[in-house]
Structure 1
Amino acid sequence: MEPSTSVFSHHISSQFNENLEDVNAKFMAMGGLVEQQVANAIHALLDTNLDLAVKVQEADNNVNQHERDIDEALTLILARRHPAASDLRMVLAMSKANTDLERIGDEAAKIARIAQALSEDGESPRGYMETRHIGNQVRIMIREALDAFARLDAEAALHVMRADADIDREYSSAMRALMTYMIEDPRHISRVINVMWVLRSLERIGDHARNISEQVIYMVKGLDVRHTDFEQIEETVQGKSKPKND
């Protein structure tokens, strides 16, 4: 996920270039850590791995420290360099995406806590197949959202947003199936509810990956596409129209 060289090579101040490169490197490192947190949390749940579940929860402090470091670096850029136009958009977008990465880390920690609670049950409860599938999808979304951010690739950001819509549909279908299962067999309600909370966290992770992709479009096009229908965003990225916010 190497950043586009044009992003950091057009400033008169070489120090400004170095500042941007440094904070971008921190952001991408945090993204890699968060992606691994999600993967580990899912593995801890599916493999009933208590040690890994605990490790994920402990590593959440590292994610939080990354968020603080990036916030501080961005604040210094704003205070010392007074960026304008596309540079300002980049700083603001990275600040918002930084928050989304931290929240993905929070959701991974939630999944790990549930994995820890379920670790004493050897049998996998209903819903683990859906968890594995949706979990793999959101991990890909995180990676592709970060890659789109690094490359300032609006088309790649659109692809992530399409994937989020797919995850939303699969999440709704899985929740309906689990509700039906609990009605038919109430003996495992508490365990299945925990799995439903995991699926909810995965769905939220997908939402945060989508948010990061929206910031890519903001950087590239200079337009805020939050709370906008996907069809309108697609037309905007392809240069057909401007989005109309809800």
Structure 2
Amino acid sequence: MKKMFLLVFLVSTTSCTTSVREGGGGPGAAARAAIARGDFEEALAIIEDAVSESPSDPMMPEWLLARAEALAGLGRTSEAVQEATGILRSAGEGSVKGRAGLLAAELEESLGRHSNCLQALGSIDPEWLSESDADRARDLAASCLVSIPSRSLPDLRRQDWLEPYVLFEIYRRRMSEGDADRALLVRSELDRLYPGFLDRMSPSDSMIPPERAYIAVLLPMTGDGSVYAAQIEKGISMAFQRSADLLPQCPERVLFDTRGGV
């Protein structure tokens, strides 16, 4: 009985030692201090030793995140992405998962893999991040969406907090294409679902669709001169059709019949 008690005591103290040490400046804190001063090799060595010595320590997710950051600092980007992505899959909701997702997203963006970047961002909640990190995540989402093909944007609306950014990007593209009608539809949906979001993203009036431009054509389509007016109107109509094919913001033609008057 005495031997059994001693064994239980040893197991209990062994499982708690590292976590207690962490609170007082354990391997995680030491690794982060090394990362802060740019000594990524030392940080990686500290974490590797800790993981090897205490593979079941409750601080493991934090250690693995530090290892991912150290790998990124060493330029071992693919390994860092793999590490951060693994944390995303295994960690519970909270700060560690949020920071891992942001790290994975930033690394994917640096590799030009914008879809993967957005996927990583979509797997976290900005509420899990500090205010500054949340701002980084939002800015990264907006910048990555610019590189996504238009046909792929609607699928990204399913990524929860990314939806208003996706709608804004669709709206921005409609505006740049001169498609004011469709831009207004997206704008109305954005305003309905996320009031005030558009104002935060585009505080100026530069993104507000202009009123549709018109050109009035006054011709005597009936009465005196109607025969000639019909020929003129046909030529004008052909010119407008041609312009509409070449210019996305071609004004609309409005015909007024002067009925033989001036």
- TM-score (norm: length of structure 2): 0.28
Structure with the higher helix share, 1 or 2: 1
Bigger Cα Rg: 2
Larger RCO: 1 or 2 (CA < 8 Å, sep 6+): 1
